[in-house]
Amino acid sequence: MKHAQHLKLLAETRDELSSALSWLQRSVQKCSHKDQHDEWTANDYDAFEALTSRFARVSDILLQKFFRALDVVELSEGGTLLDVLLRAEKRGFVESADHFLEIRELRNEISHEYATEDLDALFEAVLHKSPELIATVERSMRYAEERYLK
């Protein structure tokens, strides 16, 4: 694939990530008002289900598509998810690859429904980790835009 095609893929992936990010931010805003001591309504559960789904989607696009597309552009492609995260750490996107793996583990809990017994704890963890995920996406997109997508 030629460099221009790599840049086009990066731009398309950035656009997909940007759209998913706006939906995640909407869900975070909608859910952040919820007091843990209040009785949960069906609407609260619906809102938090949307939040967890959007969190997982943004995490997937960021790790599986955007970081890998950026790696291709920078001729650093290949390797495991940890390799991808270590390169993201070097670029300053994530504080620590190991620490960011917690977001990936949380995404796996959401996707595989391991935590269905304690939905309140899952929702709380997603709400707690969402600002870190959002900040990482914003730093990553800014990096790509400043260097490659002018």
In angstroms, rounded to a whole number, what is the distance separating the alpha carbons of residues 79 and 137? 21
Model pLDDT for residues 29-75, shown as the tens digit of each residue:
999 987 666 788 899 889 999 999 999 999 999 999 999 999 999 99
CB atoms within 10 A of CB 144: 22
Read off the pLDDT of each residue in 100-124 and give the average, rounded to a whole number.
Answer: 84
pLDDT the model gives residue 1 = 58
- First and final CA of the chain: distance in angstroms? 21
Read off the pLDDT of each residue in 86-107 and give the average, rounded to a whole number.
Answer: 94
Model pLDDT for residues 78-91, shown as the tens digit of each residue:
899 999 999 999 99
Domains assigned to the chain: 3-147 (1.20.120)
pLDDT the model gives residue 37 = 61
> What integer best gives the mean pLDDT of the chain?
92
Residue 90 Cα distances to 9, 85, 95, 96, angstroms: 22, 9, 9, 9
Burial class (CB in 10 A: 0-12, 13-18, 19+), 148: middle
Global pTM reads: 0.93
